[in-house]
Amino acid sequence: MDTKEEHIIALKVMRLTRPTLYSNPVVSCDPRDLPGATLTSAPDVTRLPDLPDLQLGEMLLLPQSFGSIYLGETFSCYLSVHNHSSEPASDVTVRAELQTGSQRLTLTPGPGGVERPVTLPPAASRDHVIHHEVKDTGAHILVCAINYISEAGVSKFFRKFFKFEVLKPLDVKTKFYNAEYDEYAALSDEVYLEAQIQNVTPAAMCMEGVSLEPSPLFDATDLNGVSGGESSFGASGWLGPQDSRQYLFCLAPRPELRAASKQLKGVTNIGKLDITWRTNLGERGRLQTSQLQRMTPGYGDLRLTIEDMPSVVELEETFHFTCRVQNASDRSLALSLRLEPPAGEPGLVWRGVSGRQLGQLAPGATAPVTLQMVARRLGLQTISGVRLLDAGLNRPYDYDNLAQVFVRRLCPV
Q: For each of the chain's 413 residues, which pLDDT tens digit applies?
A: 344 678 899 999 988 887 777 666 655 555 565 555 555 555 555 556 666 555 556 677 776 677 778 898 888 889 999 999 999 999 999 999 999 888 888 888 765 566 788 899 999 999 989 888 888 888 899 999 999 998 888 999 999 998 988 999 999 999 888 775 554 444 467 788 999 999 998 888 889 889 999 988 888 989 888 776 677 787 778 888 999 999 999 988 887 666 555 556 666 788 899 999 988 778 888 998 888 887 665 556 788 888 888 989 999 899 999 988 888 788 888 889 999 887 777 889 998 888 888 888 888 788 889 999 999 999 999 888 899 888 888 888 888 888 889 999 876 54
| 163 plus 176 within the same structural domain | no
Last residue of a domain, one of 167, 187, 217: 167
With respect to residue 30, please indicate whether it lies within any of the assigned structural domains.
yes
Residue 359: predicted pLDDT = 85
Residue 110: predicted pLDDT = 65
| 109 plus 162 within the same structural domain | yes
With respect to residue 307, please indicate whether it lies within any of the assigned structural domains.
yes
| 355 plus 312 within the same structural domain | yes
Last residue of a domain, one of 239, 269, 293: 293
With respect to residue 4, please indicate whether it lies within any of the assigned structural domains.
no
With respect to residue 413, please indicate whether it lies within any of the assigned structural domains.
no
| 284 plus 176 within the same structural domain | yes
| 41 plus 128 within the same structural domain | no
With respect to residue 111, please indicate whether it lies within any of the assigned structural domains.
yes
With respect to residue 2, please indicate whether it lies within any of the assigned structural domains.
no
| 94 plus 158 within the same structural domain | yes
With respect to residue 95, please indicate whether it lies within any of the assigned structural domains.
yes
Query: Domain of 128?
Result: 9-15+63-167
| 52 plus 68 within the same structural domain | no
| 289 plus 188 within the same structural domain | yes
HEC readout, the chain: CCCCCCCCEEEEEEECCCCEEECCCCCCCCCCCCCCCHHHHCCCCCEECCEEEEECCCEEECCCCCCCEECCEEEEEEEEEEECCCCCEEEEEEEEEEECCCCEEEEECCCCCCCCCEEECCCCEEEEEEEEECCCCEEEEEEEEEEEECCCCCEEEEEEEEEEEEECCEEEEEEEEECCECCCCCECCCEEEEEEEEECCCCCEEEEEEEEEECCCEEEEECCECCCCCECCCCCCEECCCCEEEEEEEEEECHHHCCCHHHHHCCCEEEEEEEEEEECCCCEEEEECCCEECCCCCCCCEEEEEEECCCEEECCCEEEEEEEEEECCCCCEEEEEEECCCCCCCCEEEECCCCEEEEEECCCCEEEEEEEEEECCCEEEEECCEEEEECCCCEEEEECCCEEEEEECCCCC
Residue 184: predicted pLDDT = 42
Can you give the CATH number for the domain in which 193 is found? 2.60.40.1230
| 312 plus 403 within the same structural domain | yes
Residue 411: predicted pLDDT = 64
| 198 plus 156 within the same structural domain | no
Last residue of a domain, one of 167, 196, 222: 167
| 281 plus 375 within the same structural domain | no
Can you give the CATH number for the domain in which 313 is found? 2.60.40.10
| 42 plus 98 within the same structural domain | no
With respect to residue 231, please indicate whether it lies within any of the assigned structural domains.
yes
**Structural domains counted in the chain:** 4
